[in-house]
Amino acid sequence: MKILVCIKQVPDMESKFKIAASGTWYDSADLAWRMNEYDEYAVEQAVQLKEQVKEADLTVLCIGSERVKETMKKALAMGCDRGAHVADDDCAGKEPYEIAAIIAEYAKDKGFDLIFTGMQSQDRGSAQVGVLAAEMLGIPSISTIVTFSYADGRIEVKRELEGGVKALLKTRTPALVTCQLGLNTPRYPTLPNIMKAKKKELISLPVADLLKVEARMETVKMYFPEKKGGGLVLEGDPGQLADKLIQILKEKTGVLA
Amino acid sequence: MKILLVAEYRDGKLLGSAYELIAFAQKMAADSVMFLAGSEAALPAYDGRLYLADAAVCGEFNPDVHKALLLDVIAREQPEMIAFSHSSYGWDLAPRVAFALRAAQVSEVVDVADGALVVPACNAKLRRNVQVKTAKTVVTLQAGAFGLADAPAGTPAVEKISADAAGKLEFGGYEAAEQGGVDLSKAEVIVSAGRGVGKPENVAMVAALAKALKGEYGASRPVVDSGWVEHKRQVGTTGQSVAPKLYVACGISGAIQHLAGMKKSEFIVAINTDKDAPIGEVADVLVVADLKQFVPLLTEKLQAL
């Protein structure tokens, strides 16, 4: 069985963001980078599937600069067999359609039985790439899965709907699934596996070889949203803050009556 | 401009988001037509043309078939824009339709400004203005961003449609949300724990504050996914939607899915070390403090009242 998992490197969302000089994206300097949270579940599920079927080859694909190799090494340490790095210093400027086209171009003649992606990235959050890539490849896709099982060329999943309701779905492989938070418990790479990962194949492919489409939209401006509402901001000594808050709750709400 | 609005139907019911789509068309000052894979027994109040596919035949969730139905309607109506809700149905179906149309898709639109579509980025910490280069545009709209249509009224002119297409997915029905003993929607005070609590042991201090305020405690999604709090206490789009008299968000950054489930609360207090966290947008009071220090102090003072 051949499995592909697609991951993205994103800034830690707790970071202090600054707008880049271009005015159309955030500044990539002084940020802590990590694996997109949704993709951690995708990698874990792909590794679990590999462990289940035994005979499997699991490739992790990531698009970006040299910097993203660090995140790819984490995926390799979690259990992926090989890495395909699509070298692109302008990955942040690419829209979901271009990213999906790169993935589909890479995957089209490799015969993957299953492709895993996160359901969205934490920075762009379009929730398009996985489904688009599957449409390009002409294979079924199921988005936002919270359970996954595989047997004899068929997958059974639950996809998450609003209000905690789930829909049960089945399809045949080859297929693509996009993974929602909570799908599993992503493992922490152990030290021996981190060491082993250093020896795994990690090849770089120039993005120009895989990108054969043009962007259909562009970001013209990125900015911080205006603060609305003008809620009261309290800062200072915690003890005094607590007294102040109790005073406000007494005045503005009926809950302390 | 003409917009095709894609309404939703689940488990025999029309979803109220149809009126958000109508509000969007009103805001865009556009003509609209509507698509629904649903039932004649559950039609929206809408005074336009509605293309209705029978969900009993085409399925409630059957993306390949719904795509084929939509493409047929789009060929007949030639809308410049196709609008979905940014929901589990919409974000799944929209890319399929956009790809078939060779159209750009802009996800989770929250506003329209300077001729551009406005979308959030980085957990709603940032915004982006997006311009589209294709003749047709597919959009998904963030829940609540455009409000509800003013006084929805009218009876749609229904045109029944069907498709020959077969889907690649087999739908096996729904699984109801976990039922628990905690109905947060009835609580007057809710104190919720977010990722900022740091570790499972700290959930207890949030629960203690809830008790001191004679309320219930809840949690945001990451805390539930980590297994620190059970799902029946989750607040947000995939948990419970609540509107208590007082909502206290402890270490919750304010992802849109969480805000959607609690922003109607009468009074909102946020306790967070990050002054710029999006929760500040909806909070009446933002206490900039480490919750591990502040919450026990506040609890103690409340108990002494």
Please give the distance of CA A159 from its chain centroid, rounded to a whole number: 17
The reply to whether residue B238 touches residue A164, judged by beta carbons under 8 angstroms, is yes
pLDDT tens per residue, range B174-189: 998 776 667 788 889 9
The reply to whether residue A224 touches residue B297, judged by beta carbons under 8 angstroms, is no
Nearest CA-CA distance, residue B287 and chain A, Å: 5
The reply to whether residue A241 touches residue B294, judged by beta carbons under 8 angstroms, is yes
**Phi-psi category of B145—alpha, beta or left, where left has phi over 0 and alpha has psi -120 to 50?**
alpha
Residue A167's pLDDT is 96
Say yes or no to pLDDT of B257 above 90: no
User: How much of chain B is in helix, strand and coil states, percent to nearest 5?
Assistant: 30, 30, 40
> Which among A140, A169, A231 has the least Cβ separation from residue B280?
A231
The pair of structure tokens assigned to A151 is 């047997």
Q: How does strand A217-223 pair with strand B267-272? A: unpaired
Is residue B169 less than 8 Å (CB to CB) from chain A? yes
Residue A229's pLDDT is 61
Residue B125's pLDDT is 87
pLDDT tens per residue, range B239-249: 888 999 999 99
Domains annotated for chain A, with CATH where assigned, are: 2-209 (3.40.50.620)
Say yes or no to pLDDT of B152 above 90: no
The reply to whether residue A17 touches residue B126, judged by beta carbons under 8 angstroms, is yes
Q: Which of B271, B277, B301, B276 is nearest to B289 (CA)?
A: B271
Residue B231's pLDDT is 85
Contact by Cβ (8 Å): A118, A144: no
Contact by Cβ (8 Å): A66, A98: no
d(CA B2, CA B9): 23
Nearest CA-CA distance, residue A200 and chain B, Å: 30
d(CA B102, CA B163): 21
Domains annotated for chain B, with CATH where assigned, are: 2-161 (3.40.50.620), 184-303 (3.40.50.1220)
Encode burial over B85-119: b for 16+ CB neighbours within 10 A, e otherwise: bbbbbbbbbbbbbbbebebbbbbbbbbeeeebbbb
The tens place of each residue's pLDDT in chain A, 257 residues long, gives 999 999 999 999 888 899 999 999 999 999 999 999 999 999 999 999 999 999 999 999 999 999 999 999 999 999 999 999 999 999 999 999 999 999 999 999 999 999 999 999 999 999 999 999 999 999 999 999 999 999 999 999 999 998 889 999 999 999 999 999 999 999 999 999 999 999 999 999 999 999 999 999 999 999 998 766 668 999 999 999 999 999 999 998 988 87
CA distances (Å), B80 to each of A78, B2, B83, in order?
45, 6, 10
Residue B131's pLDDT is 97
d(CA A231, CA B276): 12
Residue in chain A nearest B189 by alpha carbon? A255
pLDDT tens per residue, range B23-36: 999 999 999 999 99
Is residue A36 less than 8 Å (CB to CB) from chain B? no
Query: In the 8-state DSSP scheme, what is residue B231?
Result: G
pLDDT tens per residue, range B82-96: 999 999 999 999 999
pLDDT tens per residue, range B175-233: 987 766 677 888 899 999 999 999 999 999 999 999 999 999 999 999 998 889 988 89
Long-range contacts, A66-75 (Cβ 8 Å, 24+): A67/A9, A67/A33, A68/A9, A68/A33, A69/A202, A70/A9, A70/A33, A71/A7, A71/A9, A71/A33, A71/A34, A71/A35, A72/A7, A72/A202, A73/A194, A73/A197, A73/A198, A73/A202, A74/A35, A74/A189, A75/A5, A75/A7, A75/A35, A75/A43
Question: Please, which residues 222-251 of chain A have a Cβ atom closer than 8 Å to chain B?
Answer: 222-225, 227-229, 231-235, 238-239, 241-243, 245-246, 248-249
The reply to whether residue A248 touches residue B285, judged by beta carbons under 8 angstroms, is yes
Residue B12's pLDDT is 92
Residue B144's pLDDT is 84
Is residue B131 less than 8 Å (CB to CB) from chain A? yes
* E-only strand ranges, B122-258: 126-132, 137-141, 157-161, 170-175, 189-193, 216-219, 246-250
Sheet with B2-6, edge to edge strand ranges: B104-109, B137-141, B81-85, B2-6, B31-38, B49-54, B157-161
**Amino acid sitting at position A158:** K
Q: Which of B267, B116, B214, B93 is nearest to A248 (CA)?
A: B267
Residue A65's pLDDT is 97
DSSP element (H, E) containing A250: helix A238-252
Mean pLDDT computed over B130-157: 92
pLDDT tens per residue, range B275-285: 888 898 899 99
CA distances (Å), B14 to each of B39, B43, B44, B91, B202, in order?
8, 7, 7, 18, 41
SS3 (DSSP) at B176:
coil
Residue B181's pLDDT is 63
Mean pLDDT computed over B156-181: 88
d(CA B29, CA A64): 40
Residue B238's pLDDT is 84
State chain B's mean pLDDT as an integer.
93
d(CA B270, CA B277): 10
Rg (CA), chain A: 21
- As for the ipTM of the complex, it is 0.93
Q: Which of A186, A175, A204, A36 is nearest to A116 (CA)?
A: A175
Question: Cβ contacts of residue A226 below 8 Å, gap of 6+?
Answer: none
pLDDT tens per residue, range B93-140: 999 999 999 999 999 999 999 889 999 999 888 999 999 999 999 999
The pair of structure tokens assigned to B254 is 């304010």
